[in-house]
Amino acid sequence: MTEEYDLETLAVRSGTVRSQFNEHSEAMFLTSSFVFENAAQAAARFKGEEPGNIYARFTNPTVTMLETRLAALEGAERCVAFSSGMAAIIATVMGLMKAGDHIVASRSIFGSTVQLFSNILGRFGIETTYVSPTDPNEWRKALKPNTKLFFVESPSNPLTEVSDIPALAAIAKEAGAWLAVDNCFCSPALQRPLDLGADIVIHSATKYLDGQGRVLGGAVLGSQALMEGVYTFLRTAGPTLSAFNAWVILKGLETLSIRMDAHSRNALELARWLESHPNVERVWYPGLPSHPQHELAMRQQKTGGGIVAFEVKGGQPVAWRVIDNCRLLSITANLGDAKTTITHPATTTHSRMTPEQRAFAGIGDGLVRVAVGLESVRDIRKDLAKGLEA
């Protein structure tokens, strides 16, 4: 199944392959290896002359169904699934780059990605320069002759800054570099980076793709040629997605579109309410006209997504009061779950940054991030109102 179907249809049906039993729902294949008819077939499979399964580190029918479905949703030639989002990111670098290469990355990316780029890749001779997610000129200025990769998340965490993906893609292309977009916050239901000019899409499937906080997973998507290197890394190094996790995410994708619409509806209503609240200093949500990149976001994304950040008046004590007064919302750093989660970035996800780095990134002590779930928005609002009005 390909592009002739709408995304909602692809999310439910693409990639499905039935076994000899003709099961309706996708089967979970819990097996580490596959049997060959004879020695010649084994030889042909290993040589790559005959398609088919060999060994579950790099081939499993349930994982393949997920990869096919995700590729259809992102409009990619090929998808390679991984055990987590971080595994997908390291595989992208290890599969496509070498010592001496240079990365230009947004400074507003996932904390573990910064640690990976700066502390681990740095030891292997791959250098990273961090720039503003919202100023394409900084990306151009950061270019070096050895720049191989642009890496961005849009919208960013926690401030939902939106990057101009077509503009970054044009700069990367001119420089002979690839643009990779971590599409975790939007999912393909809201944003398709490859259509906007990106070369590579990366997912933490742990978030909205599963959508119910059950399993870890990751994926890298792009052209056949680029994914060959990424797949070779998977096959050789083994950061493999389990068949069970693939099956859970495959089922999660069936509701992706309706979930993303509902997350976005709830988030927009919550953001509007927060913006009018006297004890809230400022709200960041791409769906609000007050968001600095609102127009760009509405060009690039179907909706504003499910993440809302707001700065309370009164700094950390008030932010913590809001969090501690929640009875419904979960105090956890995860996101993309049916259950609404609430965090204080300055003392959790972004606590490894120095106060100066946080101030530079705009992450204040009064900032609260809410990953808006699928509960009634009235109940979510009531939970937040207790701490805001205490």
Ligand X SMILES: *Cc1c(COP(=O)(O)O)cnc(C)c1O
Give the binding site for ligand X (CB under 6 A): 84-86, 110, 153, 157, 182, 184, 204, 206-207, 216, 218
Q: CB of residue 110 vs ligand X: minimum separation in angstroms?
A: 4
Residue 136 phi/psi, 5-degree rounding, is -55, -30
Q: CB of residue 18 vs ligand X: minimum separation in angstroms?
A: 29
Q: Which is nearer to ligand X, 53 or 206 (CB)?
A: 206
DSSP conformational letter for 144: -
Q: Which is nearer to ligand X, 204 or 264 (CB)?
A: 204
Angle ∠(71,131,119) on CA atoms, nearest 5:
80
Q: Which is nearer to ligand X, 153 or 365 (CB)?
A: 153
Q: CB of residue 193 vs ligand X: minimum separation in angstroms?
A: 13
Q: CB of residue 218 vs ligand X: minimum separation in angstroms?
A: 5
- Measured in whole angstroms, how far is the alpha carbon of residue 73 from the centre of its chain? 14
Say which residues have a Cβ less than 8 Å from residue 373's Cβ, sequence separation at least 6.
263, 266, 306, 337, 338, 339, 340, 341, 380
Q: Which is nearer to ligand X, 201 or 322 (CB)?
A: 201
Q: Which is nearer to ligand X, 27 or 333 (CB)?
A: 333
Q: CB of residue 33 vs ligand X: minimum separation in angstroms?
A: 26
Q: Which is nearer to ligand X, 114 or 388 (CB)?
A: 114
Beta carbons within 10 angstroms of residue 278's beta carbon: 7
Angle ∠(271,255,187) on CA atoms, nearest 5:
60
What angle, rounded to 10 degrees, do the helices at 377-388 and 256-275 form?
Answer: 30
Instruction: Report the relative pairing of strands 330-331 and 218-222 from DSSP bridges.
Output: unpaired
Q: CB of residue 348 vs ligand X: minimum separation in angstroms?
A: 13
Q: CB of residue 207 vs ligand X: minimum separation in angstroms?
A: 6
Q: Which is nearer to ligand X, 271 or 335 (CB)?
A: 335
In the complex, residue closest to ligand X by CB: 85
Instruction: Report the relative pairing of strands 330-331 and 341-343 from DSSP bridges.
Output: parallel
Instruction: Report the relative pairing of strands 147-153 and 178-182 from DSSP bridges.
Output: parallel
What DSSP string describes 70-122?
Answer: HHHHHT-SEEEEESSHHHHHHHHHHHH--TT-EEEEESSS-HHHHHIIIIIGG
C-alpha Rg value of the chain to the nearest Å: 21
Q: CB of residue 40 vs ligand X: minimum separation in angstroms?
A: 40
Q: Which is nearer to ligand X, 69 or 207 (CB)?
A: 207
